[in-house]
Amino acid sequence: MKKGFVIVLSALVLASCGRPQRTVTPKSSETKQTSTSEKKQSGMDLKAIKDKDYSSIKGTWIDGRGNELVFDDKGLVSEDVELDASSFKQKDQIAEMTVSAKSGVGGYGLLLLPKGQKAGKDDASDKSKDRIWAGQSPAYGDDDNFYYRKKEQPKDREQADTDDSSSSSKTSKAKKWNTRSDGEVKSSKKADENDYAGYSDAQVEAAHVWAYVIQSVPKELNINESAAGTYIYQEGMGVTYPKTVHHLFGSYSAEGNITYASNGDGTVTIYPVPSHWHQSPDELKSEEFMTQFTQGILDHAETVTLPDGDPDLIRQILAVLK
């Protein structure tokens, strides 16, 4: 009996040793934290972009007209223009940068908009996605002016591309501010009396100038004044303004910048003063060069008669005038 008991017990022990042991490994908190961290860092990362890491916007971005912006880890990929990393400026959760022509002539601004952020009150883009606005004269009321990642194009753009696949040109579904007929637009005199109560003539004129040149509502509109005799280039070189001028600018340089003089007869003279001086350091220190350059600004000034404009647009601009 004892011998049989030992044999059975030995068999049970061997069977137990040969059976795979089930182990329970607790979930790693480190893995969970990493996943959460990665989730937080997904999408456009302004902090990384400020540090010259462009991986969060790497890839191809397309606007509603088929124009493309291509980024790699180091910045904008282009043979003609380059991204000025030193121009990065952030306000709240929106950032702006400047793109300059490699030839030294021309350029434009970029507005970097992470999902959930608005470019301005008239922003018609899809705020649920990261976007980039690029240009010289902002027009946020038209979604076609915004760039989205190639894989995140708005559905109406995809439909437009599908419908027009046989054509080499893409259609644009632009949203216009003024949808009224000419007969429905009030005259500026009547609008001044009835619609712009509480605003001075100078403020109303400033709003008309902005509407005429920029054609959109900025997040905020600021106005400064330079007296006659003030240097056009603020470092004190070149020529001066022949009369008092007003400077209009938004909260971001990409929103627009206008320098004009009021002539008191319903016309204004608009001076093509750049928002950024892209000349080389040597040129900016050269009295001869800056005199020639700023004289060119005076020579190319344009005197225009301000149109009546859309009173609705004028009121919206006045509402954000500081």
Clarify whether residues 193 and 269 are in a common domain.
Answer: yes
pLDDT in tens, 76-113: 998 878 888 888 999 889 998 888 767 554 567 889 99
Residue 34, pLDDT > 70, answer no
Q: Which letter does DSSP use for residue 166 in this model? A: T
pLDDT interval class at 9 (50, 70, 90): very low
Cα–Cα distance measured from residue 81 to residue 95, given in angstroms and rounded to the nearest whole number: 19
pLDDT interval class at 160 (50, 70, 90): very low
Q: Is there a domain that residue 23 lies in?
A: no
Helix 311-319, helix 201-213: angle, nearest 10: 110
Q: Is there a domain that residue 60 lies in?
A: yes
Clarify whether residues 103 and 197 are in a common domain.
Answer: no
How many domains are there within the chain?
A: 2
Clarify whether residues 190 and 276 are in a common domain.
Answer: yes
Q: Which of 155, 177, 203 is the last residue of a domain?
A: 155
Distance of CA 274 to the CA centre of its chain: 17
Residue 265, pLDDT > 70, answer yes
> Residue 209's pLDDT is what?
93
Clarify whether residues 191 and 279 are in a common domain.
Answer: yes
Distance of CA 48 to the CA centre of its chain: 17
Clarify whether residues 81 and 144 are in a common domain.
Answer: yes
> Residue 33's pLDDT is what?
46
Q: Is there a domain that residue 172 lies in?
A: no
Clarify whether residues 302 and 251 are in a common domain.
Answer: yes
Q: Is there a domain that residue 32 lies in?
A: no
pLDDT interval class at 302 (50, 70, 90): confident
Q: Is there a domain that residue 122 lies in?
A: yes
Best-predicted range by mean pLDDT (62-66, 169-173, 303-307): 303-307
Clarify whether residues 194 and 310 are in a common domain.
Answer: yes
Q: Which of 304, 299, 239, 240 is nearest to 270 (CA)?
A: 304
pLDDT interval class at 161 (50, 70, 90): very low
Q: Is there a domain that residue 166 lies in?
A: no
Q: What's phi and psi for 52, nearest 5 deg?
A: 70, 25
pLDDT interval class at 177 (50, 70, 90): very low
pLDDT in tens, 208-241: 999 888 888 888 899 999 999 999 998 889 999 9
Q: Structural domain of residue 58, as residue ranges?
A: 46-155
Clarify whether residues 125 and 208 are in a common domain.
Answer: no
> Residue 44's pLDDT is what?
96
Clarify whether residues 72 and 131 are in a common domain.
Answer: yes
Q: Which of 181, 221, 163, 205 is nearest to 305 (CA)?
A: 205
Best-predicted range by mean pLDDT (106-115, 180-189, 260-269): 260-269
Q: State the DSSP string of 227-245.
A: -TT-EEETTTEEEE-SS-E
Asked if 228 and 243 touch (Cβ cutoff 8 Å), the reply is yes
Cα–Cα distance measured from residue 259 to residue 213, given in angstroms and rounded to the nearest whole number: 11
Residue 254, pLDDT > 80, answer no
Q: Which of 155, 171, 195 is the last residue of a domain?
A: 155
> Residue 162's pLDDT is what?
38
Q: Which amino acid is at 294?
A: T
Asked if 251 and 175 touch (Cβ cutoff 8 Å), the reply is no
Q: Is there a domain that residue 22 lies in?
A: no
| Mean pLDDT for the chain overall | 76
> Residue 259's pLDDT is what?
93
Mean pLDDT for 124-137 is: 86
Q: Is there a domain that residue 202 lies in?
A: yes
> Residue 273's pLDDT is what?
87
Clarify whether residues 61 and 123 are in a common domain.
Answer: yes
Mean pLDDT for 129-158 is: 81
Q: Which of 136, 155, 174 is the last residue of a domain?
A: 155
Residue 261, pLDDT > 60, answer yes
> Residue 157's pLDDT is what?
67
